[in-house]
Structure 1
Amino acid sequence: MKKALIASILAFGMTLSVQAADIVDTAVSAGSFKTLATALGAAGLVDTLKGKGPFTVFAPNDAAFAKIPKADLDALLKDKAKLTAVLTYHVVPGKVMAADVKAGKLKTVQGSDLTITTSNGVMVNNAKVIKTDIVADNGVIHVIDTVLMPK
């Protein structure tokens, strides 16, 4: 009887295994990506970034979004097409860890290239990478200090 009870408890416990967090949940739990999370919701991209991936996200933190004048940010959040273009410009297909980053171009999900430079720290276009390799179960996040705008 005891063995059966222990086996049942162990079997039940195994069904409660914790799934690693996806990119969206990882960003939200970090606490410094509230504006990014709001923007992802407004653009309808939450499910995409919760998807299989893998994705590399150059994620602007709240301080990066604060550099955008409030009226401009509010207008961007209301323009779903433009917002989607801006947000997908921060996403690269595949999982690019900091150790794999080289100077050059990376094609974004939006379709344009990001320019990576490494001569004065790692820069993505005009944004400085301030934290690297925040691993999620469907990719990786690198924190940047500026919102990237596609041309």
Structure 2
Amino acid sequence: MSSSTYEHFEGCVLCGLIDTAISSGIFKIWTKLIKKSEWFQLLDNGGFFTLFIPTDAAFSRVPPEYLQALESNPEELNDFIDHFIVPEFASTKVHNSHYSSIAGDDLLIESNLSGPSVNRVSIKIENIIATNGMIHAVDSIDIFNTKKN
């Protein structure tokens, strides 16, 4: 794992994506949002996905009104979450690689001396393995800054 604010991951071992995220203790806001979305059942029970999940520290920099608007509008919430889900294995070990989010964003994983990033957003904890995918903890909600044409 990269050197970061978070020394290491202390969460559920051999759990699905949702339980792994919940057990980490650093994704409380994302967990609250995902439980209200259409993604909750799918991410809890099936598929194989890579999630770029903003930490609670990342969400703390978002205006509360924005989060309230997401929570009250299921369609907007689902569209928001689509930006953070890749329907395949997206490891940070494959540097300078492009992946597409469900929303169609081009997500570029890079690595330099300060650690891995996705679209220049720092990945605080990388390659957290779950039984149905992988999680990368990111320090901003702004990972979807480029779109594929």
The verdict on a shared fold, with TM-score over 0.5 as the criterion, is yes
**How many residues end up aligned between the 2 structures?**
132
Instruction: Give me the identity figure in percent.
Output: 30
Following superposition, the deviation at residue 149 of structure 1 comes to: 6.1
The amino acid of 2:41's aligned partner reads D
d(CA) in 1 for partners of 2:85, 2:140: 14
Which piece of structure 1 moves more, 123-132 or 30-39?
123-132
Give runs of aligned pairs for residues 74-113 of structure 1, distance below 5 A. 74-99=68-93, 101-113=94-106
Structure 2: segments with no counterpart, 5+ residues: 1-12
Query: Equivalents in 2 of 1:134, 1:104: separation in Å?
Result: 18
Following superposition, the deviation at residue 53 of structure 1 comes to: 1.9
Query: Which residue in 2 is equivalent to 1:12?
Result: none
- 1:63 has 2:57 as partner: yes
- Rate the CA distance shift 1:85–1:48 in 2: closer, same or farther, 3 A: same
TM-score normalized with structure 1 length: 0.78
List per-residue Cα deviations over 1:2-40 (Å, max 9, x = no partner): xxxxxxxxxxxxxxxxx9310000000111111111110
| Equivalent residue number for residue 128 of structure 1 | 122
Instruction: State the secondary structure of the residue aligned to 1:141.
Output: strand
Aligned-pair distance for 1:106? Answer: 1.1
Q: Alpha-carbon deviations, 1:47-75, whole Å to 9, x = none? A: 11113221111111111111101112211
Q: Secondary structure at the match of 1:20?
A: coil
Report Cα offsets for 1:96-135 as digits up to 9, x if no partner. Answer: 2332x32142111122222333245322124210111211
- The answer as to whether partners of 2:110 and 2:116 remain within 8 angstroms in 1 is yes
Which amino acid in the other structure matches residue 53 of structure 1?
Answer: G
CA 1:27–1:49 in structure 2 vs 1: closer, same or farther (change >3 Å)? same
Task: State the partner residue of 2:43.
Answer: 49
| TM-score, structure 2 as length reference | 0.79
- Cα distance in 2 for partners of 1:86, 1:150 equals 10
Using the TM superposition, name which of 79-88 and 66-75 deviates more. Answer: 79-88
What residue ranges of structure 1 are gaps of 5+ in the alignment? Answer: 1-18
Equivalent in 111, 114, 124 of residue 118 of structure 1: 111
Aligned residue among 13, 34, 40 for 1:40: 34
Give 1 or 2 for the bigger CA radius of gyration: 1
